[in-house]
Amino acid sequence: MHERTVHGSAQHEKTENGMTEDAMADEGTTTGAGATALLFPGQGTQRQGMGEPWRDTGAWALVPELSELTGADVEELLLKADDETLRRTDLAQIAVFAVSLMAYEEAVRIGLAGRDAVCAGHSLGEYTALVAAGALTYRDAARLVAARGSAMRDAAAARQGSMAVLVGVEEEAVAHAAEEARTAGDPVWVANLNCPGQVVVAGTEAGIEHAARLLEAPGVKRISIRVGGAFHSPLMVPAAERLEQALSAVEFASTTGCVVANVDAAAHREAADWPRLLVRQLVSPVQWERSVHTLLGPLGRRRLVEIGPGRTLTGLVRRISKDPEVVTFDSPDAAGDRRR
């Protein structure tokens, strides 16, 4: 029987028809005209003291086990770690996953979210999305997040790189500039397609500088991102190989809910899809804008709930479409905050 996430210490098991009791009770939030999708943020949303709002919630009971599963002192990370510590790739990912998981548990408890949901997660956030959709247990997700973060940190140390946001320029132009830079021996690739007019690139510092120089024009801006490596690019191939090994020890489940995958912006329900998709995610662009259109179009979602630290995805959704209702749940007292 597939293990589910917990409220406090109580586990939720699937019934014979493949749905949890919670999912049957909350089915109205994930089907029909007013359907909801859950969004989970990724690395970059971490900040000092990010766990403080959740200390008095029932979901805080997850913290000791998450420490055991990841090999990190999660309580220390969430309450005391400074910003410099939280910039370390492996620790940042554990911290963001822990807060997102706690926020999800509280969102289910108060009825803001259901289980076996329709979800999407940005990069790291895809792992929490898989938990919420019923494809992955939170224990396996925690182990994978720790393995992923460690592998990405080591890959970045072996081949230094960075990321930058290019604002005011479209994907085709950025892709062309990146190809020209690579031809000249300066590695850089498109890494995130977040919203109209905003493209993230990843590569060596020389590659990013080369591509940005080719794109110089009135209204075009380059914003550096303080990250530990060239994520979602071929410079992460060593990390992808290590993650593939970790994924071989994990069992996914086919789901009644679904997750819109970063790499192809398509909805996936089959267990067999995810090992391949998660490996590809480390070396491929995050198709976030297309993923949101999948949620709003083929999947018919009309209400998007961002769950976890920060409101980054809420801002991106507003730039992608004015149609959906957007709800953010970044602290226990943020329930019902509809920011249009």
Catalytic residues: 123, 232
Q: ∠ CA 83-97-157 to the nearest 5 degrees?
A: 60
For tokens 């062309």, what's the residue? Answer: 176
The torsion angles phi and psi of 37, rounded to 5 degrees, stand at -125, 145
User: Can you name the residues that pair with 328 across neighbouring β-strands?
Assistant: 306
The rounded distance, in Å, linking the Cα atoms of 19 and 137 is 14
For tokens 């289910």, what's the residue? Answer: 108
The SS3 of residue 327 is: strand
Tell me the helix, strand and coil percentages in the chain, rounded to 5: 45, 15, 35
The rounded Cα 306 to chain-centroid distance in angstroms is: 11
The four Cα atoms 49, 309, 73, 140 give a dihedral, to 10 degrees, of 170
Q: What is the 3-state secondary structure (H, E, C) of 176-222?
A: HHHHHHHHCCCCEEEEEEEECCEEEEEECHHHHHHHHHHCCCCCCEE
